[in-house]
Structure 1
Amino acid sequence: MSEQHTHNAPDRRAWLGLLVILGPVLLVAMDGSILFLAMPRVSQALTPSADQALWILDIYGFAVGSLLIAFGNIGDRYGRLKLLMIGATVFGIGSAAAAFAPSPEFLIAARALMGVAGATLLPSALAVLSELFVDPRRRAQAIGIFAAAFAAGFAIGPVVGGLLLEQFWWGSVFLVNLPIIALFLIFAPILLREVRATRPGRVDPLSVVTSAAGLLFTIYGLKHAAAEGVSAVPVVAVLAGAALLTWFALRQRRLEHPLMDFSLFRDRVFTVAIITGLLPLAAWSATAYLSGIYLQSVLDLPVLRAALLALPGAVVLTTTCIVTPMVVDRIGKRTALIICHFSIATGLLLLLPTTITAGIGWYVASTIIAGVGYGISFAVVADTAVGAVPAERAGSAGAIAETSNEIGNALGIALLGSLAALIFRIQGPDLAPTLDETLQLPGLTTSVVEEASSAFVTGLHVAAIAGSLLHLVLGLLALRWLTKPATPKGEAVPSPDTPERAESTV
Structure 2
Amino acid sequence: MFTTQTPQLRAGRREWAGLAVLMIPVLLISIDNTVLGFAIPAISTGLHPTGTQLLWIVDIYALMLAGLLVAMGSIGDRVGRRKLLVIGALGFGLASLLAAFSTSAEMLIASRALLGIFGATLMPSTLSLIRNIFLHDRDRRVAIATWAAMFSGGAALGPIVGGFLLEHFHWSAIFFINLPLIAIFIPAAIMLLSESRDPNPGRIDPLSIALSMLMLTPLVFAIKHVMADGVDVLFWVSIAVAVVAGAGFILRQLATPNPMLDVRLFANKVFTSAVTSNLLSVMGLAGFLYFGTQLLQLVLGLSPIQAALILIPGLITSIASGYLAVPIIARLQPRVVVPCALVLNAIGMGIVAFTPEHSVLGMAISFLILGIGLGTAEVITNDLILAAVPANKAGAASAISETAYEFGSVLGTSVLGGLSTMVYGSALQSTIGAKAGQSQYETLGSALEYAAGLGGSAGDRIAEAAVAAFDLGVQWAAGAAVVLVLIAAVLTTFGLKGAGRLLPGTKADSMESQAKDSAAAEIC
Sort the TM-score into its range (normalised by shorter chain): over 0.9
Deviation at 1:474, TM superposition (A): 2.2
SS at match of 1:196: coil
Matches within 5 A, 1:160-175: 160-175=161-176
* Alignment match, 1:494: 513
TM-score normalised to structure 1 length? 0.93
Distance 1:486 1:20, change over 3 A: closer
SS at match of 2:331: helix
* Alignment match, 2:448: 439
Deviation at 1:272, TM superposition (A): 1.1
CA offsets 1:365-385 (integer angstroms, 9 cap, x no match): 111122222112321232112
* Alignment match, 1:77: 78
* Alignment match, 1:371: 371
* Alignment match, 1:127: 128
* Alignment match, 1:459: 473
Matches within 5 A, 1:382-397: 382-397=382-397
When structure 1 is superposed on structure 2, of 361-370 and 197-206 the one drifting more is 197-206
- The amino acid across from 2:203 in the alignment is R
Distance 1:197 1:484, change over 3 A: closer
Distance 1:29 1:173, change over 3 A: same
Deviation at 1:217, TM superposition (A): 0.7
Deviation at 1:471, TM superposition (A): 1.5
Checking the alignment, whether the CA contact within 8 Å between 1:158 and 1:307 is kept in structure 2 is yes
Distance 1:497 1:105 in 2: 50
Checking the alignment, whether the CA contact within 8 Å between 2:500 and 2:508 is kept in structure 1 is no
TM-score normalised to structure 2 length? 0.90
Long gaps (5+) in structure 2: 1-8, 502-506
CA offsets 1:340-388 (integer angstroms, 9 cap, x no match): 22111111110135456x4112111111122222112321232112111
Distance 2:223 2:366 in 1: 27
Distance 2:270 2:49 in 1: 42
Distance 2:509 2:46 in 1: 64
* Structure 1 residue runs of 4 or more that deviate by more than 6 Å after TM superposition: 484-490
Percent of residue pairs identical = 36
Matches within 5 A, 1:198-237: 198-237=199-238
Checking the alignment, whether the CA contact within 8 Å between 1:381 and 1:401 is kept in structure 2 is no
SS at match of 1:331: coil
Distance 2:111 2:495 in 1: 43
Distance 1:70 1:482 in 2: 28
Matches within 5 A, 1:131-280: 131-280=132-281
Checking the alignment, whether the CA contact within 8 Å between 1:389 and 1:500 is kept in structure 2 is no
Distance 1:497 1:15, change over 3 A: farther
Deviation at 1:61, TM superposition (A): 0.2
Deviation at 1:55, TM superposition (A): 0.7
* Alignment match, 2:411: 411
Deviation at 1:277, TM superposition (A): 0.8
* Alignment match, 1:483: 497
Checking the alignment, whether the CA contact within 8 Å between 2:202 and 2:259 is kept in structure 1 is no
* Alignment match, 1:106: 107
Distance 2:363 2:152 in 1: 20
Deviation at 1:67, TM superposition (A): 0.5
Distance 1:118 1:17, change over 3 A: same
What RMSD, in angstroms, separates the aligned Cα atoms of the two structures? 2.2
CA offsets 1:166-216 (integer angstroms, 9 cap, x no match): 111111111011011011111111111212342333121111111012100
Distance 2:235 2:69 in 1: 26
Deviation at 1:219, TM superposition (A): 0.6
* Number of equivalent positions: 493
Matches within 5 A, 1:216-365: 216-354=217-355, 358-365=358-365
Deviation at 1:247, TM superposition (A): 1.6
Distance 1:346 1:489 in 2: 29
When structure 1 is superposed on structure 2, of 156-165 and 11-20 the one drifting more is 11-20
SS at match of 1:101: coil
Distance 2:137 2:244 in 1: 42
Pairing 1:448–2:448 present: no
Distance 2:107 2:466 in 1: 30
Checking the alignment, whether the CA contact within 8 Å between 1:272 and 1:478 is kept in structure 2 is yes
Distance 2:500 2:378 in 1: 25
CA offsets 1:382-401 (integer angstroms, 9 cap, x no match): 21121110011011101111
* Alignment match, 1:24: 25
* Alignment match, 1:3: none
When structure 1 is superposed on structure 2, of 423-432 and 273-282 the one drifting more is 423-432
Distance 1:74 1:349, change over 3 A: same
